[in-house]
Every structure is written in C-alpha cells, then in structure tokens.
Amino acid sequence: MSRKIWVFDTTLRDGEQVPGAKLNLSEKLEVAQQLKKLQVDIIEAGFPASSEGDFNAVKEIAQKVGNTDDITITALARAVKADIDSVYHSVKHAEKPLIHMVLGTSDIHVEKKFGKSKNQILDIGVEAVKYAKTLLPDVQYSTEDASRSDFEYLWSTIEAVVKAGATMINVPDTVGFAEPEEFGELIFKLNDRLKNLNDQVLLSVHCHNDLGMATANTLAAVKNGADKVECTINGIGERAGNAALEEVVMALNTRASVYGAHTNINSKEIMNTSRLVSSLMGLEVQVNKAITGDNAFAHSSGIHQDGLLKSRDAYEIINPTEVGLDDMELVLTARSGRHAVKDTLRKLGFGQLTEEQFEAIFAEFLILADKKKEVYNYDLYVIVKNYFAGQNE
C-alpha cells in the first residue's frame, strides 16, 4: 500500500537564504499562495526572530494562506525562548500553526559552535521543547548536522525531545555530507527506535546538495521509513541548495513501485511555481535542471525526435503535461529530421502539404538551421509563407 509522504516546503526560509534572493512581503505572500495551490502540506514561511520584516511576512502568510486546515504554517526558531516566542506570535494566526526549532547534535556543533557539553545541549533542547509545548501542540525539533552526529547521542536527543512533547523530528544533512546508502541506513535505525517509542511522531529529513546528492539522499530516506521531506522549489537554498521539491515529488510519482509512497502535490502546478520563484528571486534555473530546466522536456536530436514520434516512451519518462507544461517539445536544429519538421508543421496548421511542397520547405529549413542554433516555430512559419508567396508570383 502506498504511504503518504508529507511535503514541507522551505523555499521562503532556507531558499531565501540564497544571497540576493530576498523577497518583500507581497512577493513572499505570492509565493506562499502558489505553494498552497501546489498543495504542499507545510510552508516554512521564514525566520521571524531575524527581522521585523520577516516576522510580519510570516504573520501575514499565517493569516492569509494558513486560513484553512489543509495547510500548516511554520517558521524557524533557535532553541531559545525569544526565538520561540517570535515564531509563536507570527504563526499562531494560522489554523494549523507549528513551531520549528533547531539545535545541533554533532560534536562540531555541540563543542566547537556552542562550547558546551552534550548533556548541556540536550537539556537546552528539552527545556525549549517543553516551553514551546506551553504555546502550541505541534512542535518540530531539528537535530542540526544529524548526519555527522554520534548515533547514540543523536538518538538520546530524539528520545528526550519526543518525551518532552516534540511531534515531528527532523533529521538534517546540514552540510550535504551524507551519501544515499549511509543516510538510508541512519533513517532506518532512527525510524525503528522512534516508532517503538511513539508511532505518532513524524520522522522527517532535510537534505542539502553540497555533493549533488540531496534528492538521492531524500529518496533513500523515504525508502527507509521517513514520513516527511523538506524541500525547496528549484532546489534553491544555502550554498549548493536543498533537495528540489519537483525532483523528489516526480521521482516518487514516476517510480511509485520502487518507493511505494505518494505525496499530495498537484504536480500540474510545478512549472508555475518554479517560474514564479525563479522570477521573483532573480535566480535563473539551469537549463538542464531535472524537471524544471528549460531543456528538461525538450528533444533536439533527430534520432530521438524520430523515436518519440513513433513511440513517446522511447525517450520520455514523464509526460510534460504532468508538470504543467505544454505537450512534447521538439527543438528544431540542423540535426532534426524530416519527421520532426513535418510534425511541427502539422501543429502550425500546415498538415496538408504535398511531398513536393514539403521537400522544398525542408530544404529551406536545412539552410536556415545551418546558420542558426535553433529554428523556432516562427522561422518555420516564415519559410512556409515565403515558399507560397514565391509560388504565387
């Protein structure tokens, strides 16, 4: 049976940490409204303790987007009272508010960053959860740098914060250091213990992309029992970014038999969301980026175009309409064959050409294609018009 995987979008928090990607309040609201259309389960709307602007944006999103019970609004706090208060006062306006707090568990964080002992950090975490629970019923605890933490210490932290009332445990690969097999194993072991302790607590993962493995690590975690994935649109985020929502979701959809899991995402809104985030944040999507890159569904080689026109599954694993794009896109270049050019002409309304007419037009197409990198529909249209104009002279 297919398991539901919760999708937590952190485009407005981790994604917005990208230098230069800062949004104003109305832009954040627009992104949050689009994330709601995409049907994410949880929106992390910001880090309200960081500035008054962030606080106001989270509050507005909680009021205007979190006004229904099909979406949870959260924001990030460090495990300190002032941050937790800030999150509480900004998210409490939502129908389903959640406090998200973070505290490191690796030796590097505990000893070098905080200069404290493991017991001291564990106590700070437990007290912070207890305090957050006096404000809201739903509290997520993130064990920062979990993938580089001592396993038994990581587990004792999780055990203690769950006993203190945490309802979601998030396991971050903060610096993108994990690799899929090892991360899957970590999640398997944690899930086993967590479900024995309290099977109502959701186990979540948050993977960064420093070694290009954020999506693979997230999927390995799902395979090994994670209930929830944290992602961003187009994979934007701190340094090399976060797991890309569209990649994780489409992998779960496309390889359903491998993962046995599904999300509530309306995949037809993926391209709209990707384009909105890219244009508002001024972050161009790399052309060959999986799912949302300009070339992700564009076929340019003549051999592929010919194969696709005979049987789409020859070179296509996802129908582009599933992510909200138009149907199959054939890019016409000097390498395109007659079959692809004929198909494009048909779509442009020139499906009735005789063989002689087509051959003449195809010859003109090849001349132009040799001069240009890509022949656009408009170019083809002009070739046809010129051809018929010449015939009538």
- Contact positions vs Zn ion (CB under 5 A): 14
Residue 59 interacts, among ligand KIV, Zn ion, none and using kind-specific CB cut-offs from 5 to 8 Å, with: none
Residue 9 interacts, among ligand KIV, Zn ion, none and using kind-specific CB cut-offs from 5 to 8 Å, with: none
Q: Is the dihedral of CA 227, 278, 213, 253 positive or negative?
A: positive
Residue 16 interacts, among ligand KIV, Zn ion, none and using kind-specific CB cut-offs from 5 to 8 Å, with: none
* 3 state DSSP class of 200: coil
Strand partners, 9: 43, 231
Cβ closest to Zn ion, residue 64 vs residue 113: 113
Cβ closest to Zn ion, residue 14 vs residue 247: 14
Cβ closest to Zn ion, residue 60 vs residue 173: 173
Report the interface residues with ligand KIV, using CB under 6 A. Answer: 14, 76, 102, 142, 144, 170, 172, 174, 206, 208
| H/E segment holding residue 229 | strand 228-231
> Smallest gap, in angstroms, from Cβ of residue 23 to Zn ion?
18
Of 329, 279, 285, the C-alpha closest to 309 is 329
> Smallest gap, in angstroms, from Cβ of residue 28 to Zn ion?
18
Q: Which distant-in-sequence residues (6+ apart) come within 8 Å of 375 by Cβ?
A: 332, 333, 336, 365, 368, 369
Q: Which distant-in-sequence residues (6+ apart) come within 8 Å of 106 by Cβ?
A: 144, 145, 146, 148, 149, 150
Residue 60 interacts, among Zn ion, ligand KIV, none and using kind-specific CB cut-offs from 5 to 8 Å, with: none
> What's the CA gap between 233 and 249, in Å, rounded?
11
User: DSSP 3-state helix, strand, coil percentages of the chain (rounded to 5)?
Assistant: 50, 15, 35
Strand partners, 228: 6, 204
> Smallest gap, in angstroms, from Cβ of residue 314 to Zn ion?
39
> What's the CA gap between 262 and 256, in Å, rounded?
7
> Smallest gap, in angstroms, from Cβ of residue 148 to ligand KIV?
11
Cβ closest to ligand KIV, residue 214 vs residue 383: 214
> Smallest gap, in angstroms, from Cβ of residue 14 to Zn ion?
4
Cβ closest to ligand KIV, residue 55 vs residue 141: 141
| H/E segment holding residue 78 | strand 72-78
Annotation: binding site for Mn(2+) = 14, 206, 208, 242
Cβ closest to ligand KIV, residue 169 vs residue 323: 169
Annotation: binding site = 14, 206, 208, 242
Residue 72 interacts, among ligand KIV, Zn ion, none and using kind-specific CB cut-offs from 5 to 8 Å, with: none
Residue nearest to ligand KIV (CB): 172
